[in-house]
Chains A and B, each alone.
Chain A
Amino acid sequence: MLFRTLAKAEFRKLVELLLAANEVVGPKRVGTNVRGEPLHQFLPVSAFDELALDYANTEFPPKTYFLPYREDLCSYRFGDDDWTQDIRYQVHPRVIVGMHACDINGLVKLDKVFTRDTFPSPYYLSRRKNTLIIGIDHLPGPKCFCRSVGADLVERGFDLFLSDLDTRYFVAIGSDRGFGLLQRVDAKAITDEDRADYLALRHRIADAFETHVDVQNLPSLLDIEFESKLWKKWGDKCLSCGACAMVCPTCYCYGVHERVSIDFRCGAKVKQLHSCNLLDFAMVAGNHNFRPTRESRLKYRYYHQHRGFVEAYDEPNCVGCNRCGHACLVGINPPDVIADLQAEERR
């Protein structure tokens, strides 16, 4: 990978160059919570100063710019008893500034599902290929555990990635597009001092993690503890509201339904993100439910992320952002659930 440094004023100039010709999305402050902490969301910005690059985490993951909660897969026009199908992939060039490493790694995982398998998704690819990503490092919050799941560092999936060295940014270049972008501003070759400062920052970040989760043995542990009583304990707490999957940067399960206009002239096939915790996730016609209990559904979210996904892609489908733990009203969070599983193993 190639590296440069960028003075902070030059980075501002870079964003302003992008703002002048593109839709730019970034972390924006949208208010404060009951404890007075700021709330952030990835939203379109119109000026550099609207970006809150020092944000801790956003309420919603940036995945929604690639996998929208709802999207029409195709539209239909009806005439008598015939119809025509029309498919349009959305081409909407966009820049996202300020994605954290965990969220970029979330995209890299989604890439594996939506761009590499037998059936690459043109819907996803259209958005992915037309989005320029500028990521940024941050000091982990008390609940971040991205380091435990190997998502604290990014090697791909972005165009530029910034690390804040106080006076300047250390910039990793992830694509020729990113390289070309840096040529428009005064980016400097890195010096020994830059390298030393950057490595010091990496250590500072690594040492700042307070939450650690051991996921190494999870695939086999989840098989062994499949019938464990502790799933009922967590299942009894679970509201089956699906909030965890909605705010997850990697959960991608969805449902498809269709609609017809009331004049029966046009219709659409609609994709809507779903959650394995919702009651009807595995319900079939005639109301048979393959997973009728809360505990079986809750268990499957963990089983997919740390067993099924590992089977398919050799890594868990979790990036350690703990958005799910934060969004869960009853406090179900991966560090606690996984620690509980591991305590069960040692009993």
Chain B
Amino acid sequence: MTRILHGVDITRGASFRGVVDFNQRYRLQHVDRNFKSTITTIVPLTDMEKLFQLRIDDDAERATFGFLPGQFVMLEVPGYGEVPISISSSPSNKAYIELCIRRAGTVTNLLHRARPGAKVGLRGPFGTHFPTGQMKGHDVLLIAGGLGLAPLRAPIFDITENRAAYGRVHILYGTKDPSQLLFDYQYETWRRVGGVELSIAVEHADADWKGEVGLITHLLDRLTLDADDTFAIVCGPPVMFKHVCSRLSARGVPMDRMFVSLERRMHCGMGKCYRCNVGHTSTCIDGPVFDYWSVMNLKESI
């Protein structure tokens, strides 16, 4: 080969725009950069779940961080991994966010042993939200099974803080047994300060249990509801929301006024890794909150 002294360097020259360096572009950076946050308080809820209060360290980042009820964050323990967690605190709370976390894998096991003061990373918020704006002026029915109360807590805050904007508000909550009830210290506040009706049932009572025993569908069947004027949010395992939503549908609540939150494995939160795909879409971008009609049309969603 003849040695050519003056080659064409694609990073130089008139028609070449030079090296395109994204390291200088802040707007693109923030999707990958996590907000460093401090775990300020850890509230034990059950054997398996704890509530973590997190405060974003940087004042400017904390001020700009905002979310809508139903959205989730990617919570990262650097060096160990990242998990999607739906936000359980009030959207109006700018001081800290709360995440209810069940001990299941590597990251959540570590978090359960972490102590206040620990530094974790947050990315987000991501995903769709419950349309609380659209629900204003209507009755609202919030139905949770088990850990499903965690994603419901943000809309519960949102609704109770703006209570006058809604009609009748009911919360139906069911778990396997009394030891699994989450946020039991808040029930009185929701009832008396929040002005919502809260009904709770457990499938298996223990010696101290004085409340309802049975499936959540029993609570639902007893409830009088104005089907033409009700929005429903249903969170829980697929078998639970399927039964609940089909009963609501049978009683005349339109499927596009019922909202569920789907759970899938997520690795990016940004619609790229496609690990959370369900049917023809991805849970992180088009979900996690879907109306029930959409869910019915997603293969393998139930």
Contact = CB atoms under 8 A, between A and B. Distances in A.
A–B direct touch in complex (beta carbons closer than 8 A): yes
Interface of A: 16-22, 47-49, 73-74, 76, 78, 81-83, 85, 87-89, 91, 93, 95, 113-114, 117-123, 125-126, 129-130, 132, 176-177, 179-181, 183-184, 223, 226, 252-260, 264, 267, 269, 274, 276, 281-286, 290-291, 296, 300, 303-304, 307-308, 311-312
Contact of A180 (B14, B22, B25, B80): B14
A261 B95 CA distance: 34
A129 B7 contact: no
Contacts of A254: 267-268, 272-273, 275
Contacts, number: 196
Interface band, chain B: 35 or more
Interface string B256-277: 0000000111011011111101
Given A254-B267, A267-B78, A282-B264, 12 more contacts: A17-B8, A19-B4, A83-B78, A118-B271, A226-B299, A254-B275, A260-B79, A269-B82, A285-B104, A286-B104, A290-B278, A290-B300
B17 interface: yes
Contacts of B119: 81-83
Interface string B5-24: 11111110111110111110
Shortest 10 CB-CB contacts between residues of A and residues of B = A180-B15, A20-B7, A285-B105, A21-B7, A267-B79, A285-B104, A119-B270, A260-B79, A21-B9, A129-B20
24 contacts: A17-B8, A18-B7, A21-B7, A22-B10, A85-B78, A87-B33, A91-B22, A114-B272, A118-B270, A118-B271, A119-B271, A123-B32, A129-B20, A180-B13, A180-B16, A226-B299, A254-B273, A258-B78, A259-B79, A260-B79, A284-B104, A284-B265, A285-B106, A308-B279
Q: Among the interface residues A21, A118, A181, which one has the most CB atoms of the partner chain B within 10 A? A: A21
Nearest to B301: A290
Contact of A121 (B2, B83, B263, B272): B272
Interface-centre pick from B1, B29, B121, B271 (highest chain A CB count, 10 A): B1
B265 to A, nearest CB: 5
B23 A89 contact: yes
B165 interface: no
B31 interface: yes
B239 interface: no
Interface in B32-52: 32-34, 36
A20 B83 CA distance: 47
Contact of B8 (A21, A87, A226): A21
A295 to B, nearest CB: 12
Contact of A285 (B13, B108, B267): B108
A311 B278 CA distance: 13
B280 interface: yes
A252 B268 CA distance: 13
Q: SS class of chain A's interface: helix, strand, loop or mixed?
A: mixed
B290 to A, nearest CB: 14
Contacts of B1: 16, 47-49
B18 to A, nearest CB: 9
Given A17-B7, A81-B119, A87-B29, A282 B265 contact: yes
B15 A181 contact: yes
Contact of A91 (B6, B23, B83, B121): B23
A177 B277 contact: no
Interface in B94-144: 104-106, 108, 117-119, 121
Contacts of A114: 272
Contacts of A47: 1
Given A83-B119, A177-B16, A258-B81, A253 B22 contact: no
B22 A73 contact: no
Contacts of B267: 254-256
B285 A118 contact: yes
B178 to A, nearest CB: 22
Contact of B22 (A16, A126, A296): A126
Contacts of A312: 280-281
A91 B19 contact: yes
Nearest to B78: A76
A119 B16 contact: no
B63 interface: no
B28 interface: yes
A113 B281 contact: no
A303 B29 CA distance: 32
A269 B299 CA distance: 32
Contact of B275 (A48, A82, A89, A274): A274
A18 B8 contact: yes
Nearest to A49: B1
A311 B274 contact: no
A179 B15 contact: yes
Contacts of B285: 117-118
Contacts of A269: 76, 78, 82
Given A20-B7, A290-B300, A125 B274 contact: no
Contact of B82 (A19, A91, A258, A259): A258
Contacts of A85: 33-34, 36, 78, 121
A223 to B, nearest CB: 7
Given A118-B270, A255-B273, A19 B7 contact: yes
A27 B19 CA distance: 25
B7 A119 contact: no
A299 B278 CA distance: 13
A123 B76 CA distance: 20
A134 to B, nearest CB: 11
A234 to B, nearest CB: 17
B80 to A, nearest CB: 6
B10 A125 contact: no
